[in-house]
Amino acid sequence: MIQSLLIANRGEIACRIIRTARAMGIRTVAVYSDADAKALHVRQADEAVHIGASPARESYLVGEKIIAAALAIGAEAIHPGYGFLSENAEFAQAVIDAGLIWVGPRPASITAMGLKDAAKTLMAAAGVPVTPGYMGENQDPAFLADRAAEIGYPVLIKAVAGGGGKGMRKVEAVANFADALASCQREATASFGNAHVLIEKYIQRPRHIEVQIFGDTHGNIVHLFERDCSLQRRHQKVIEEAPAPGMDAATREILCAAAVKAAKAVDYVGAGTIEFIADASEGLRADRIWFMEMNTRLQVEHPVTEEITGVDLVEWQLRVASGEALPKRQEELSINGWAMEARLYAEDPAKGFLPSVGRLEGFRLSSYECRVETGYEEGDWVSPFYDPMIAKIVVHSASREETADRLSSACASALVWPVRTNSSFLSRGAAEPEFVAGQVDTGFIERHELNLCTRRGPDEKTLQIGISEVLKRVEQPDLDKRAMRDRRFAIDLHGLRLNSNRKNAHWIAVDGRALELSPNYKGGTAWNIEYVGESGVLVSDDDGQLVHFDVARTDGSAHGPASSGTILSPMPGRIIAVEVAQGQTVTKGQKLLTLEAMKMEHSLIAPFGGVVAELNAVAGAQVQVEALLARIQPVEQT
Ligand code: ADP
Ligand code: ADP
Ligand code: MG
């Protein structure tokens, strides 16, 4: 067995690999960039090596530095995780040439499956049904347009070197073909350095179904059943599950046999995934499922397979890399229950999925029974350098319905602040009747996008008034700690309900007093309140949207709409100019300050005329998203 392992990755997958390696008694070595110096994977590993600057191309993508780190620290093997260098055959070969163990397939298998056109040609020759289309050498636009016409619209143009949902264009009609082709080629060149494309029939009512396969160096290959990853946004997976809804035993057998055949065709060793696209317009039928591509690595969504099979896939990877035979034979593997995974992203669905970065002042994901895979803890920073996926929430139970229900609850209960997440988007998605009924396809999110993304609940002003009321009640002697323990209370105010009961109660301390409030009140509009820091209260609603409320600024003297005049930083950035002074009278639309963020300048203006009652912005200062920069008080109230 391998004695020491370097993990050439970061975030949740690095932590995930460390966990299993440690349980197996393997010494773990993390690598990290500048931005990750204090990251969780570094804290969790036995040792850690700095490999470069924050941008991935200067650290996590530099193979030589990673190999040098492994040799210098005496690590015996390298696990690449997913993304980064995991599907880079040259890196795999360099690891082997350096005398290290590569935890992954043979470089030749990676190469064979690396380009989508070559992989499809290989699979077709091996007798695996492939998505109909053109996958040849000729890249002449007129020739490709003829092939598209032959295949029949709609078609999908795909970069052969594409990945992560990039480099794809759906074309509805011949009139749009030339433009789509040119733009796809541009993106392919920019992202993958390869303009080559293939043309595929766009499958109707498409479902993404993939099969987990596993091979060892003794010639054994098994499958660990299928996953359904049809819930996608812009061709990127959002919620995955196993098994696939509506898959009957006979269809499963044919599909999984095709996957094993595909893996055998490339002498596959280690964990891999064969991705298929299914035409589900008449349910899942074996003759309407086609090979799409193979991912020669561990997949992001591997936990759902682990949940239903009871297999630790990372353990299997390490055993196979050590030369052992697969721990189980095909007939020893079976499906138990249902599992789902949701990808929690640091992004704001209400703002067009704008990435959200900053310090995780609040980060609590495990109040429901679920498996959480994350690379972050409260107090950690989400940096703008890497993938915005900050956690995976995984649920397993006996039935699909129960699993969906629990996934929805687990996502809704995620408390993340002030970084925005897609938690409510995920929670609503898992609760959508169509999803619960198992009617999934890749168009699901687009069909429901409006409902999934719209922020609900009263505005901040209503909320602030409500909280000041709560705080007033806290002042009342009958609502002290002891009394709270014995009673429930609810305040109805402006249609806002603030609830407390004993179930799942949290204590919050406000000015030295304890107040117990329910984080999970179900029914009506419930507000979940938590104490944060010295004077703040963190409030979330059923949708998981959070508002930070500063107790110190709320004396309960019902001033009213203080919030509408609050100027919050819309994103993390730097203040480059402050145009006003405290106490100054300003007119509606007057420029207050300039914020530089994401390489652009943004002017923040007065929402109405009034007085600058508060000014926290200082030129040159870095600010976090939603930092209170200034507050304008309407003239009539001053
Ligand atoms: P899968 O096919 O397994 O769902 P993707 O095709 O989405 O995975 O590719 C994996 C993606 O994960 C890459 O595009 C990369 O941007 C991202 N990624 C790589 N490393 C990490 C990491 N440590 N944490 C989160 N995301 C990562
Ligand atoms: P990537 O390498 O980016 O993962 P894939 O070839 O796996 O590229 O395709 C990504 C997603 O695009 C699939 O999961 C599916 O939702 C959609 N897709 C791919 N091919 C087709 C097709 N022929 N018809 C309909 N949808 C497709
Ligand atoms: Mg894919």
Please tell me the predicted confidence (pLDDT) of residue 539. Answer: 63
Ligand 1 pocket, residue 233 CB under 6 Å: no
pLDDT of residue 487: 38
Q: Which atom of ligand 1 is nearest to the CA of 295?
A: 2
- How far apart (Å, rounded) are the C-alpha atoms in residues 155 and 170? 6
**CA nearest to 503, candidates 477, 472, 528, 524:** 528
**pLDDT the model gives residue 203:** 96
What average pLDDT does range 584-589 have in this prediction?
90
Which structure tokens are listed for 519?
């984080």
Measured in angstroms, how far is the CA atom of residue 235 from the centroid of ligand 2?
6
Assign 454 a pLDDT band (cuts: 50, 70, 90): confident
Our answer on whether the CB atom of 227 is closer than 6 Å to any ligand 1 atom is no
Residue 12 CB less than 6 A away from ligand 1: yes
Closest among 560, 376, 342, 378 to 469, alpha carbons compared: 560
pLDDT of amino acid 503: 39
Mean pLDDT, rounded, of the chain: 86
pLDDT score, position 501: 39
Topology of domain 343-454, CATH: D-amino Acid Aminotransferase; Chain A, domain 1 (3.30.470)
Instruction: Give, for ligand 1, the residue of 13, 387, 394, 442 to mutate: max count of ligand atoms closer than 8 Å to Cβ.
Output: 387
Is the model's pLDDT at 396 over the cut of 50? yes
Q: For residues 215 and 551, give the distance between their C-alpha atoms in angstroms, rounded to a whole number.
A: 58
CATH architecture for segment(s) 132-201: 2-Layer Sandwich (3.30)
Burial class, 576, CB count within 10 angstroms (exposed 0-12 / middle 13-18 / buried 19+):
middle
Whether 61 lines ligand 1, by a CB cut-off of 6 Å, is no
* Structure letter (DSSP) for residue 40: H
Query: What is the reported pLDDT for 497?
Result: 42
CB 191 within 8 A of CB 166: yes
pLDDT band at 282 (very low <50, low <70, confident <90, very high): very high
In sequence order, what DSSP letters do the residues of 52-85 get, joined into one string? E-SSGGGTTT-HHHHHHHHHHHT--EEE--SSTT
For the cut 90, the answer to whether the pLDDT of residue 394 exceeds it is yes
Length, in residues, of the chain? 638
Residue 524 · residue 497 · CB < 8 Å: yes
Ligand 1 midpoint to CA 577 (Å): 38
Q: Which pLDDT tens digit goes with each residue over 104-135?
A: 999 999 999 999 999 999 999 999 999 999 99
Alpha-carbon radius of gyration of the chain: 27
Omega before residue 418 within 30° of 0, cis: yes
Nearest-CA residue for ligand 2 atom 11 is 235
Q: Out of 56-60, 275-279, 464-468, 531-535, pick the least confident.
A: 531-535
| Helix, strand, coil distribution of the chain in percent, nearest 5 | 30, 30, 35
Q: What is the mean pLDDT of residues 482-494?
A: 42
Q: Is the CB of 50 under 6 A from ligand 2?
A: no
> What CATH architecture applies to the domain 565-637?
Beta Barrel (2.40)
Is the pLDDT confidence value at 461 over 70?
no
Q: Specify the higher pLDDT residue, 594 or 471.
A: 594
Is the Cβ atom of 133 under 6 angstroms away from ligand 2? no
What local confidence, expressed as pLDDT, does residue 515 receive?
A: 43
The reply to whether ligand 2 has any atom less than 6 angstroms from the CB of 235 is: yes
Q: How far is CA 618 from the centre of its chain?
A: 34
Indicate the CATH number of 4-103 among 3.20.20.70, 3.10.20.30, 1.10.760.10, 3.40.50.20: 3.40.50.20
pLDDT at residue number 161? 95
Which has the minimum average pLDDT: 347-351, 402-406, 548-552, 585-589? 548-552
Q: Which helix (H) or strand (E) holds 614?
A: strand 610-615
Residue whose CA is closest, atom 6 of ligand 1? 164
**Tens of pLDDT along 6-41?**
999 999 999 999 999 999 999 999 999 999 999 999
Can 343-454 and 565-637 be said to share one CATH topology? no
Nearest ligand to residue 301 Cα: 1
**Confidence (pLDDT) at 414:** 81
- Ligand 1 centroid from CA 343, angstroms: 11
CATH superfamily label, 205-336: ATP-grasp fold, B domain (3.30.470.20)
Q: Is 318 helix (H, G, I), strand (E, B) or coil?
A: helix
pLDDT digits (tens, 9 = 90+) for 512-545: 333 444 444 333 445 555 544 444 566 665 555 5
Question: Confidence band (pLDDT; 50, 70, 90) for 602?
Answer: confident
With bands split at pLDDT 50, 70 and 90, how would you rate the model's confidence at 552? very low
Mean pLDDT of 146-173: 95
Q: How far is the CA of 239 from the centre of ligand 1 (A)?
A: 14
Question: How far is CA 94 from its chain centroid?
Answer: 31
Q: How far is the CA of 516 from the centre of ligand 1 (A)?
A: 40
* Apex 415 CA angle, 414 and 419, nearest 5: 115
Domain layout of the chain by residue ranges: 4-103, 132-201, 205-336, 343-454, 460-550, 565-637
